[in-house]
Amino acid sequence: MKVIGEKVIAPNGFFAVGSHIGIKRKRKDLTIYYSKNNCNAAAVFTRNALKAAPLLWNKKLLDDGNKIRAIVINSGNANACTGEIGKVHAQQMAQDLADGLNLNKEEVFVASTGIIGQVLPINLISKGIQDNIPALDNREEAFNDAAEGILTTDTFTKQITIELELFDKPVKIVGQAKGSGMIHPNMATMLSFLFTDANIGSSLLQKMLKESVDDSYNMISVDGDTSTNDMVVLLANGKTDIPEIMPDSTEYDMFKQALDKINRYLAKQIIKDGEGATKFIEIHVRSANSKEDAKKMCKTVINSSLVKTAFFGEDANWGRIVAAMGYSGVKFDFDKINVLFKSNSGEITLVDNGKPIEFNEDRALEILEEKEIKAQIDLNQGTAEAKAWGCDLSYEYVKINGEYRS
């Protein structure tokens, strides 16, 4: 496995473009992805019962077993809670791109991100799609533009390429994502687009993606809000001439490890770009009775507003952590637990076998002043473990979200 890094080396047969068409004042606000070959598709959507129009369109295409050739995304407007006209506009975006690429609209996924409850400026978007189709390219610069076109309140692009050798041939997986607020371990408020030239069947692709999402995007938290537009899409066009990847094979294991690495990386980048965030926090629950218990406790702790604000205040208030553990729904024996904090400045134990430890407050502050902090919780009950990632809640978060529409 070769991690090429925070850039895109396009998989065979994939093209992209990103540009500013006028939905937002200045920043790029339209992205198109395109494959010359039919793609097997997999997707995971928000668990919010209120789903934006593009997600309803995409889910129908997926349920009907359609091959996907292209994706069009606008930012600055979520096309959510806009009624029947929203559904019409989502299909219009698919039709416009299909017309320009000589496809059927059922081969086009659609995504929107931005402000909820506003009708799309569909004429502007239709013209933008038409104008940008000739600019589709497979160069790094084109994918960089695409990464910018999906951003909303993000402060930087999030992308990665991994190359691995399968059946003695190089295969690439590329990931690009957006997200920085309304992030909650229920998918998060984010979009993630993944592309590979590997040959993988649709059902296996879906299984692989669902498992990977559960251990990455579903384990992050900024603010506890779950969006209407969350979506992760994985397209495989089989453009690299290799045999089909089969379950329980060495090639499957290798591909899955690479996919997991990409999704964990992008999930962490979303957290590091959390609105107003000053800390990146990892919660690591160890020695639980089951992975399900460990994940449930991780999610509860990382999503606690009181835990987040304690980290923002650089306060070693471990009581907030154990309180969150207590309402997580996971059974544990407090008299067995250990709690400690770690950072580049060292580590400090706060609770040892259920007993509070008198610690040096100045030493604790040194550890918590770092930008990246790990809170390790040992339940001392079993062998399962899990990790979740999040950020603190700051004054700046309130400012950003208070002024979002303006």
Q: Where are the beta strands (DSSP E) in 148-306?
A: 158-166, 169-178, 191-196, 220-221, 231-236, 280-288
Topology match between the domains 2-272 and 280-402:
no
DSSP 245: B
Q: What is the pTM of this model?
A: 0.90
Provide the pLDDT for residue 227: 72
**Three-point CA angle 381, 387, 388, nearest 5°:** 130
Nearest to 212 by CA among 260, 247, 174, 160: 260
Class for the domain spanning 2-272: alpha beta
- Report CA-CA distances (Å) from 213 to 70, 85, 138, 216, 358: 22, 31, 27, 5, 40
Question: Minimal CA–CA distance to 177: which of 139, 233, 137, 129?
Answer: 233
Q: DSSP labels for 99-123?
A: HHHT--GGGEEEEEEEETT----HH
CATH of the structural domain 280-402, one choice from 1.10.287.110, 3.40.47.10, 3.10.20.340, 3.30.9.90: 3.10.20.340
Q: Please report the beta strands in 189-329, taking only residues with DSSP state E, as ranges in sequence order.
A: 191-196, 220-221, 231-236, 280-288
pLDDT at 139: 96
pLDDT attached to residue 364: 96
List active site positions.
189
What is the spatial distance between Cα 136 and Cα 193, in angstroms, rounded to a whole number? 16
What span, in angstroms and rounded, lies between the C-alpha atoms of 39 and 107? 9
Cβ proximity of 34 and 129 under 8 Å? no
Residue 296: φ, ψ to 5°: -65, -40
Q: Which mean pLDDT values do the consecutive 10-residue runs of the chain (406 residues) have? A: 84 98 95 97 88 95 97 95 96 98 98 92 98 98 97 92 96 92 49 97 97 92 70 96 96 97 94 82 97 96 93 95 97 97 97 96 97 97 96 77 57
Cα–Cα distances in Å, from 141 out to 34, 135, 157, 295? Answer: 15, 11, 13, 38
How many angstroms separate the CA atoms of 379 and 364, rounded?
22
SS3 percent helix, strand, coil of the chain, rounded to 5, is 35, 30, 35
| pLDDT at residue 186, as a whole number | 44
247 vs 69: CA distance, rounded Å: 25
Domain boundaries, the chain: 2-272, 280-402
